[in-house]
Amino acid sequence: MSQTQPLAATNDLVIRFANVNGSGSASANNLFSKAVFRLGVPVSSKNIFPSNIQGLPTWFEVRVNEQGYLGRRGGYDFVVAVNGQTMVRDYQELLPGGYFFYDSSKRLPDTFQRQDITLIGIPLTDICNANYTEPRLRQIFKNIIYVGALAYLFEMDFTVFEDSIKSQFAKKAKLIEPNIQALRLGYDYAAQHHADCCGLNIHRRDLNGDQILMEGNAAAGLGAVYAGATVAGWYPITPSTSVVEAFEKYCQAYRVDAATGTNKFAILQAEDELAAIGIVIGASWNGARAFTATSGPGVSLMSEFLGLAYFSEIPVMLMDIQRTGPSTGMPTRTQQSDLLAAAYASHGDTKHVLLFPANPKECFELTVAGFDLADRLQTPVILMSDLDLGMNVHQCDPIEWDDARRYDRGKVLNQQQLDDLPERWGRYLDVDGDGIPYRTIPGTHPEKGAYFTRGSSHDEYAAYTEDGTVYARGMQRLLVKWDTAKRLVPAAEVSGQNSRIGVVYFGTSQYAAQEALDQLRTQHRLDSMRIKGFPFGQEVAEFMAAHDTVFVIEQNRDAQMKTLLVNELDLDPQVMVPVLNIDGMPITASFLVAEIEQHLESLSIHPKPQEA
Amino acid sequence: MTFIRPNFRHPENHTNEIGYSIKNYEGALSTLCAGCGHDSISAAIIKSCFELNLEPHKIAKISGIGCSSKTPTYFLGKAHGFNSVHGRMPSVTTGANMANRDLLYIGVSGDGDTASIGMGQFAHVVRRNLNMVYLVMNNGCYGLTKGQDSATADKGSAGKKGVPSVFDSIDLCQLALQLGAGMVARSFSGDKQQLVPLIKAAIKHPGFAFIDVISPCVTFNNTPASTKGYEWVRDHLEATGTIDFIPEKSEITIDYPAGSSRQVQLHDGSELVLQKNANDYDLSSRKAAMNRIESVKEAGNILTGLIYHNENQGDTHASINTTQRPLNALTEADLCPGSAVLEQLNAGLR
């Protein structure tokens, strides 16, 4: 057996923290990843948590990568094993040459006999017991102590941690010193007992510029504030809950009238998801901007109402923070498996506008754009985020706002406009060929503009009809509107190398897809396209038509985006090769490279087949 | 019922204080069956709004699905209406009310729409104390699907098919009381004298006001064996004291015997005058109201009239501290924190 060399790298490593849910580990782990970020080194973290409040295993993965790859890489170079329940698994899954960091207050079991890894034992419990008497403090500071030890082992600049603690506890100054002391305990112990044993380092760089760290859900909630949403109806469901919590937090900060102390927003926790979207529809019908956030089970429940909004043409902003389905599925794992349920939600012929953000900045921007689109198109718009994006902290460019920007409230007639109309107004009359009629808000005019909104078939003047010709005319007009939507949704991002082979991806697959493409392009010529909206614009149709083989990367079992492409663009399904990840974990670059390489081989496409 | 409504109006047909005639409060022609109780309720709504001098376009009428929920087409043609989905009128009305607190919201529902498919939404809109009039046109059956029993059909009551209902009925007034509604009333579509003042009181009530109106289905549930038919209901009514609605500026001319009436001052200065019956209870006591419904029911009768009234409960906006300005009237300047705030937020995220 050849001796495995301990891993050695600077600013390129993956660390797994194995913790117990509810033990206070999250803030310590975030302290660590934020320190990496503040050292100017790109970092991404994934909280892999159970559907549980206390007691079950939880993991926190941190990838440090100075090339800026922020997706999951796959594999662990360093494990912080502080959960007895998962210790065997954490030990076994460590990569050869990796480092196993554990609480050496207790001896490792005799079965732990790997020769290809480095053990780093720190007696966390003993250190805590010697320094703290209160059980609660022992638990909290145990986490901080291992962060201090990591600071030494990875040769990280200790002042960054001190500064983080100071800003974190700026309002609770008495907590600053004890936390720094705990960090120091871990740092000093590692320095005395484990000098020069770790080949993995995190050294200061200046690679992060003005980037920020944010959760996608917080960005979406903030987007709703900036977009002028005033009404939110919602029902708690993981992983969407923090969208409305963020909306409320930002509203409390920026939407309370200074003079009266009253709220310029109304947030109602509804009895279920049906009521949540009912509230949104009622408020939008009445001229306010309103939204709700949910996940797959909520989308199922909201389907009937989505059909009403589609057919009676009421703006709806819905955020679907997708999780692993079907049914309850894995509620705390990620997936992109609601595409079909969302795109065609409800009975009858219905289709809905979808937006696919890939990072928190886009959660903000596409939320703002979504409100404009919903108002402009008078139809539901669904932001297709996911658990990975929504609940994990992501590094991205800062969020921007142009103060000259005005909300697009779409075709809404005011009193004066109603008076000035040369001919009879029809709520469902397309007067300018874009398939979008003009609407009125209740209370606008004493004599004109009142109509009866209904989910039953109606003519151009909103009167009930059972005349099949009139009904069909209305349904065809909705397709004209659908064509208008194709021009208004954000265009796909296309990157070309003039190849006959394309790679398509969307949403959070972006991180891994970009890394995989960088690797694959060293061997192959590949074009790529990131889809950002549905219905597909002309550029999507053109891209698909221009390639003989298109890999479609998705995080679901049934290749739902491929189905949408086949269905909406009338494509030959044989052109597309689905590349699917369904284990509920964010997709990795190594998986993509392996899958795509294998297909390229089977297609007899060899590296660098032709000159550029 | 399809017929041509005559355009002729009496030349002395008067207008109300804001210059509208009753015609301004009417809607499209009803397509319900001839003799349907629901049409009488629509007429009572029209009369109430006319007499209260309400501007029709400042009213929003919202319904679910069913015969009852079709009626908003047949009244207040100048008001926006919304025929939503089955059992979901309460949530749509909640959203609408959140968007604009200045309109009057009349929610129309049926017994199937409220007591079955919409039970959850009904319970929660009561709990939220939304400022609205919630009117149930209660005929004990599903009319549009041809006469199936609804959850308010009394045990043993039989419709056109002659099969008695085997389950106990749900009493929506008791439910509303238990859930904390500020105003609870029951009436009969055939008793306009009672229904119109109740609707007026409900409109003026500054929170959630519930009226359960028994409204016979002439086609499927008007049999001698039905407890929701005209005959049975007329014979079994037991009313709480009569109620009169006195507008702000009117002089009270009705003379009530001493000790028999109670005046309730409403928030806009108008008054409700309740004339008590000998055996009446304190209408502001939820417990007494509950007992009275039960004891009248035990005697085989139906309690109608104003059953409970508490005008001091506030509403949803008061509970969540919303601004007095309608939210749908706020602009970018009110709502968008702007780029400077965003820069601070970005700085806090590094």
Q: Please tell me the distance from the alpha carbon of residue A449 to that of residue A419, in angstroms, as a whole number.
A: 10
State pLDDT tens for residues B156-211.
Answer: 999 999 999 999 999 999 999 999 999 999 999 999 999 999 999 999 999 999 99
User: Is residue A146 included in any domain, yes or no?
Assistant: yes
Phi-psi region of A105 (alpha: psi -120 to 50; beta: other; left: phi over 0): alpha
Domain shared by A424 and A390, yes or no: no
**Which residues 6+ apart lie within 8 Å of A328 measured at CB?**
A297
Same domain, A22 and A171: yes
What are the residue ranges spanned by the domains of chain B?
22-327
A134 and A151 in a single domain? The answer is: yes
Q: Cα–Cα distance between B338 and A146 in angstroms, integer?
A: 41
Per-residue pLDDT at A210 exceeds 50: yes
| A596 contacts: CB under 8 Å, gap ≥ 6 | A503, A516, A520, A551, A579
Span A361-377, pLDDT tens digits = 999 999 999 999 999 99
**Residue in B closest to A263 by C-alpha:** B322
Residue ending a domain, choose from A327, A362, A396: A396
Contact B346 A230 (CB under 8 A): no
The DSSP symbol for A14 reads E
| Strand, coil or helix: A22 | coil
b/e for A407-424, b at 16 or more Cβ within 10 A? beebbebeeebbeeeeee
Class of domain B22-327: alpha beta
Same domain, A111 and A225: no
Residues of A with Cβ-Cβ distance to B349 under 8 angstroms = 212-214, 398
pLDDT of res. A1: 44
**pLDDT at position B261:** 67
Q: What is the pLDDT of residue A409?
A: 98
Strands B183-188 and B208-214: parallel
> A14 and A62, same structural domain?
yes
Same domain, A445 and A474: yes
The answer to whether the pTM exceeds 0.90 is: yes
pLDDT value of residue A110: 93
Residue A136 shares a structural domain with residue A165: yes
Average pLDDT over residues A525-553: 97
pLDDT digits (tens, 9 = 90+) for A154-181: 999 999 999 999 998 999 999 999 999 9
Residue A130 lies in a domain: yes
Q: List, in sequence order, the alpha helices (H) in A154-233.
A: 158-168, 176-193, 216-226
Average pLDDT value for residue range A315-331? 97
CA distance B292 to B298: 10
Chain B touched by A409 (CB under 8 Å): no
- Rounded-to-integer distance, Cα A490 and Cα A362, Å: 11
Position A51 scores a pLDDT of 85
Angle between helices A273-285 and B119-128 (to 10 degrees): 60
Give, for A377, the enclosing helix (H) or strand (E): helix A360-377
A470, A488, A506 - which closes a domain: A488
Q: What is the mean pLDDT of residues A385-401?
A: 98
Evaluate the omega torsion of the peptide bond into residue A239 and state whether it is cis, within 30 degrees of 0: yes
- Whether A402 maps to a domain, the answer reads no
Query: CA–CA separation, A303 vs A310, rounded Å?
Result: 11
> Which ranges of chain B have pLDDT less than 50?
1-2, 252
Residues of chain B with C-beta less than 8 angstroms from the C-beta of A285: 82, 92, 95-96, 99
Six-digit token pair at A37?
A: 């970020």
pLDDT the model gives residue B271 = 77
Pairing of strands B242-246, B132-138: unpaired
Chain A (458-497) residues lying within 8 Å, Cβ to Cβ, of chain B: 464
Does residue A360 have a cis peptide bond before it, meaning omega lies within 30 degrees of 0? Answer: no
Query: Is residue A207, in this structure, part of any structural domain at all?
Result: no
CB nearest A212 (choices: B332, B338, B350): B350
A224 phi, psi to nearest 5 deg: -65, -35
Q: Measured between alpha carbons, how far is B147 from B216 in angstroms, rounded to an integer?
A: 12
CA angle A460/A485/A443 to nearest 5° reads 45
Which of A 359-398 lie inside 8 A of B, CB atoms? 398
Contact residues on chain A for B60, CB-CB shorter than 8 A: 286, 442-443
Q: Do residues A436 and A365 share a domain? A: no
Query: What's the gap in Å between the CA of B39 and the closest CA on chain A?
Result: 18
Residue for token digits 């977009």?
A227
Give chain B's mean pLDDT: 91
Whether residue A117 is found in the same domain as residue A61:
yes
Do A506 and A441 lie in one domain? The reply is no
- Using DSSP, state whether A536 is helix, strand or coil: coil
What is the pLDDT averaged over residues A253-280?
98
Among the partner-chain residues A254, A267, A450, the one whose CB lies closest to the CB of B80 is A450
Block residue for tokens 């015969």:
B67
Same domain, A99 and A183: yes
Residue A48 phi/psi, 5-degree rounding, is -110, 100
Domain boundary among A201, A226, A260: A201
Q: Does residue A206 lie within any of the structural domains?
A: no
The CATH number covering residue A529 comes to 3.40.50.920
> CB distance A275–B88 less than 8 Å?
yes
Print the domain residue range for A498. 493-602
Q: Phi and psi of B109, rounded to 5°?
A: -145, 170
CA distance A267 to chain B (A): 8
Mean predicted confidence (pLDDT) in A317-342: 97
- Is 90 exceeded by the pLDDT of residue A488? yes
Which of A60, A64, A63, A38 is CA-nearest to residue A50?
A60
Residue A235's pLDDT band (boundaries 50, 70, 90)? very high
> Could you read off the pLDDT of A13-58 as tens digits, one per residue?
999 999 988 888 889 999 999 999 999 999 999 999 888 888 889 9
Task: Please list, residue by residue across B299-328, b when 16 or more beta carbons sit within 10 angstroms of its beta carbon and e when fewer do.
Answer: eeebbbbbbbbbbebebbbeeeebbebbbb
The pLDDT of A323-341, averaged and rounded, is 97
A267 contact residues in B (CB cutoff 8 A):
320
Arithmetic mean of pLDDT over chain A: 96
pLDDT at B281: 86
Whether the pLDDT of residue A360 is over 50: the answer is: yes
Q: A330 to chain B nearest CA, in Å? A: 27
* Segment A82-125, tens digit of pLDDT: 999 999 999 999 999 999 999 999 999 999 999 999 999 999 99
- Please report residues of A whose CB lies closer than 8 A to that of B95: 231, 233, 278-286, 290
From B33's Cα to the closest Cα of chain A, the distance in A is 17
What residues of B are in contact with residue A275 (Cβ under 8 Å)? Answer: 88, 90-91, 94, 120-121, 124
Q: Which residues of A touch B144 (CB under 8 A)?
A: none
DSSP for A23-68, written as a single string: SSHHHHHHHHHHHHHHTT--EEEEEE--SSSSSSEEEEEEEEETT-
Instruction: Say which amino acid occupies A286.
Output: N
The verdict on residue A3 lying in a domain is no
The span from the CA of B148 to the CA of A227, in Å, is 47
A140 plus A286 within the same structural domain: no
Give B84's contacts in chain A (Cβ within 8 Å).
Answer: 278, 281, 308, 453, 455
User: How many distinct structural domains can be found in chain A?
Assistant: 4
Which region, left, alpha or beta, applies to residue A138 given φ > 0 means left and ψ of -120 to 50 means alpha? Answer: alpha
Query: A455 vs B84: CB contact, 8 Å cut-off?
Result: yes
Q: With CB atoms and an 8 Å threshold, state whether A443 touches B324.
A: no
Q: Convert A139-169 to b/e letters by CB count within 10 Å (16 or more is b).
A: bbbbbbbbbbbbbbbbebebebbbebbeebb
pLDDT for the residue B43:
97
B233 beta partners: none
> Please, which residues have CB within 8 angstroms of residue A382's CB and are 6 or more apart in sequence?
A299, A318, A319, A320, A342, A352, A353, A354, A355
